[in-house]
Amino acid sequence: MKVEASNGEEGKRVGAKRNGERLVRKQGCSRRTRRRVHAASTAIQRLFVACKSVFKGPGTVPEPADVEMLKLLLDKMRPEDVGLSTDILFFKSKSSSSGTPRITYATIHKCDNFSMCIFFLPPTAVIPLHNHPEMTVFSKLLLGSMHIKSYDWIDPDKSSISASSAKMRPAKLVVDSDFTAPCNTSILYPTTGGNIHTFTAITPCAVLDVLGPPYSKEDNRDITYYRDHPYTKYLDDATDQSGEEKHDLGWLEEIDISKDLEMDGVKYLGPPVIDG
């Protein structure tokens, strides 16, 4: 998922005075809470150090052992490890009752080799179907319940595309399920694992995403959005050679993203990571 604020600098979006799309902390935490947050900083720092070791830059995919190491670290991550708790009123959106619910994000770290971000989705908010070109992505649902749907491309030579759907590409459905925290980390690869996916919040949600490498227009890793269509809508049974069950397939149509769906950046308020 690409993170770009729709207007203004990220810092200007931070204000603990509003419930809406802001992170609101309760004032005056106990000593026990402070000790717990201090201990949690170790978890995010360990994840950061592991990411520096695992992600080697554009054009590379982490080794299986490194993937498993990151997965184990992320599987153990808790909301408090990034400064979140049920006392923080961050999910709510003023537009949740009318219009498009706004999604916010906080960047923990970003460099040429990887990025670490948290996405905050109010109920019914949707991150549209989008791809992750040449990326390996780890997604950890920290709080809430959401529906995840994902696809991988299939060879277009094995499917029939009608003249009316020349801009469509066939894809295989990988995931189409509900997830509730705490749950295991999902992993997608440049060409497998559900590289093209969409999130729909059932309840307020927080998702920790690790991308390696991150999106980059300069390196031709820009984000692309899609709309999915039933496979049978553009299917010629006489020439279909996919060899797949048709209910597991779909057509993905490239679309322009609506400005209403752009995300708002907020400041990361959890334990810092130390790059040194």
The whole-number pLDDT of residue 263 equals 86
Question: How many domains are contained in the chain?
Answer: 1
pTM over 0.85: no
* ω into 182 cis (within 30 of 0): yes
Give residue 67's domain range: 14-266
Burial per residue of 71-89, b for 16 or more beta-carbon CB atoms within 10 angstroms, e otherwise: bebbeebbbbbbbbeeebb
Q: Residue 218 CA to chain centroid, in angstroms?
A: 21
Q: 177 is written with which tokens?
A: 């399920």
The whole-number pLDDT of residue 252 equals 93
Is 256 contained in some domain? yes
Is 7 contained in some domain? no
Is 161 contained in some domain? yes
The whole-number pLDDT of residue 221 equals 87
Is 190 contained in some domain? yes
Q: From start to end of 136-237, where are the E strands?
A: 136-143, 145-153, 168-180, 186-188, 196-201, 205-212, 225-230
Q: How far apart are CA 68 and CA 35, in angstroms?
A: 29
The whole-number pLDDT of residue 87 equals 54
The whole-number pLDDT of residue 161 equals 52
Is 248 contained in some domain? yes
The whole-number pLDDT of residue 102 equals 85
Is 93 contained in some domain? yes
The whole-number pLDDT of residue 40 equals 41
In one-letter notation, the amino acid at residue 206 is A
Helix or strand run (H / E) with residue 221: none
Q: From start to end of the chain, where are the E strands?
A: 104-110, 115-121, 126-130, 136-143, 145-153, 168-180, 186-188, 196-201, 205-212, 225-230, 249-255, 264-266
The whole-number pLDDT of residue 56 equals 94
Find the CATH number of the domain harbouring 53: 2.60.120.10
Is 4 contained in some domain? no
In the predicted model, residues of the chain with pLDDT beneath 50 are 5-40, 93-96, 162-164, 237-239, 241
